[in-house]
Amino acid sequence: MKHLPPTNPSSKFLRYLPLRTGNLGLDFGLILVPVAFIVGHTSSSAVLTFVASALGIIPLAASLGKATEDLSSKLGEKLGGLLNATMGNATELIIAFFALREGHQAVVKASLSGSIIGNVLLVLGTSVWVGGAGRQKQTFDRRTVSASVTMLFIAVIALVMPAVYALSFHGHLTTSSPALDRFSITTGAILIVLYAFGLLFQIKNGEVPVATEEDDATTEPSWLPTLSLLLATVLIALLSEMLVDQISAAQHALGLSSMFVGVVVVATVGNAAEHSTAILMAYKNKMDLCLSICIGSSVQIALFVAPVLVFASYLLGNPMQLVFSPLEIAGIALAIITLQMIVNDGETVWFEGAELIAAYLILGTAFYLVPE
């Protein structure tokens, strides 16, 4: 009979802080959290504070994801699925909320498009490359993935149409049209309803996948996931406020545009922990779960996070319309089309991962060259 080593609540609590004990990289990453607070309160450099805050958020996002996952497993399938669906992109939602409060609508919209583009090109590309290395090919359920891609494509239509409307009837991407206000709010409401229906369908059909720890043979006190979830959320909120306070100064110091900061920096920081999980699942040859993370996160951004931020922007007094720039629209559309071509045959090889990464780097270069 296998004997397990004795455990105590404090050792269990440490599991949530880095994502899992035993992973020295993530354990060490937690050092960045107090460092970020020290830098934020002692340094006069906007760039240093911005970078420290961004790096500090990454291990906290991992902690938040792990706590959400474990709390979901204790709540049962339906409530657990609901918690996963609403907290899956909590980090990005928190960062975006503070950015909206400070009037950085352009950065928020860029982070939304950047999350979608990054998930389906960079993250999936890296996952396919890592998972395909040493294997002839990897397979997955094409029907399930096709349904998710279809939902994502419908969501993208909703995100693109306000800009098409503005260009068609105003000749430019105006942000002061009452009609666009109504269009954005109505579109947001439709997307929220569609997301609710999609979530209900997944829960009823038992299609809410969760990445679980196979070697976690022990149990922990029921209050630990909740406490970890609350603590991580509070710390992320504090660091997000520090990050947002330095966005403008850091942009000017580094010569970066709001679009690049949103598409690349904010989107990457907000989703870093989820990205690592997708890559790990591909490495373990669990491509169905990997794809559900990459595509599911994009669907949640488009159908849930974007509408919530639109509603929040009006409540905060800084209205954000769902009007994206032509470059963002082209990037999102090309990313989804490329995704469809990659997953259409129900299998992937490492070279397809390289192609997805190359597509992301091309788009990233375009966003980098956008004038400040």
Question: What average pLDDT does the structure give for the chain?
Answer: 81
Beta bridge mates, 138: 348
Residue 175: its pLDDT value, please? 60
Instruction: Tell whether the model's pLDDT for residue 14 goes beyond 80.
Output: no
Task: Compute the distance between CA of residue 18 and CA of residue 274 in angstroms, rounded to an integer.
Answer: 13
The mean pLDDT value for 105-109 works out to: 90
**Per-residue confidence (pLDDT) for residue 113, from 0 to 100:** 92
Look at 22-31, 169-178, 280-289 and tell me which has the smallest mean pLDDT: 22-31
> What token pair was written down for 333?
């559309």
pLDDT band at 38 (very low <50, low <70, confident <90, very high): very high
Residue-wise pLDDT tens digits, 245-271: 989 888 888 888 889 999 998 888 888
Q: What is the pLDDT of residues 55-66, one digit of tens each?
A: 888 888 888 877
CA distances from 225 to 72, 178, 221, 229 (A): 9, 44, 8, 6
Residue type at position 337: I
> For 68-79, what is the mean pLDDT?
69
- pLDDT tens digits for 156-170? 888 888 888 888 877
CA distances from 201 to 82, 158, 299 (A): 12, 21, 14
CA distance linking residue 135 with residue 151, whole number of Å: 30
Averaged pLDDT for residues 360-369: 93
Higher-confidence residue of 23 and 74: namely: 74
- Do residues 29 and 18 lie in contact, with contact meaning Cβ atoms separated by under 8 Å? yes
Percent of the chain beyond pLDDT 90?
A: 26
Q: Where are the beta strands (DSSP E) in the chain?
A: 138-139, 347-348
Nearest partner of 125 among 364, 369, 327, judged by Cα: 364
| pLDDT above 60: residue 20 | no
Place of tokens 């709390």: 71
Average pLDDT over residues 298-318: 90
pLDDT at 322: 85
Q: Which of the four pLDDT bands, split at 50, 70 and 90, describes residue 86? A: low
Question: What mean pLDDT comes out for the span 178-186?
Answer: 87
Q: What is the pLDDT of residues 209-244, one digit of tens each?
A: 555 544 444 455 666 777 888 888 899 999 999 999
pLDDT of residue 151 exceeding 60: yes
Choice among 16-20, 190-194, 320-324 with the minimum mean pLDDT: 16-20
Reference 236, options 269, 190, 203, 191; nearest CA is 269
pLDDT band at 349 (very low <50, low <70, confident <90, very high): very high
Estimate to the nearest angstrom the gap between the alpha carbon of 165 and the chain centroid. Answer: 27
| pLDDT at residue number 152 | 86
Does pLDDT of 153 surpass 80?
yes
3 contacts: CB under 8 Å, gap ≥ 6: none
d(CA 230, CA 73): 17
28, pLDDT greater than 70: no
Confidence of residue 16 (pLDDT cuts 50, 70, 90): very low
Buried/exposed code over 80-97 (b: 16+ C-beta within 10 A; e: otherwise): bbbbbbbbbbbbbbbbbb
Spell out the domains of the chain, with CATH numbers in brackets: 12-209+219-368 (1.20.1420.30)
| Res 254: pLDDT | 87
Q: How many CB atoms lie within 10 A of CB 38?
A: 11
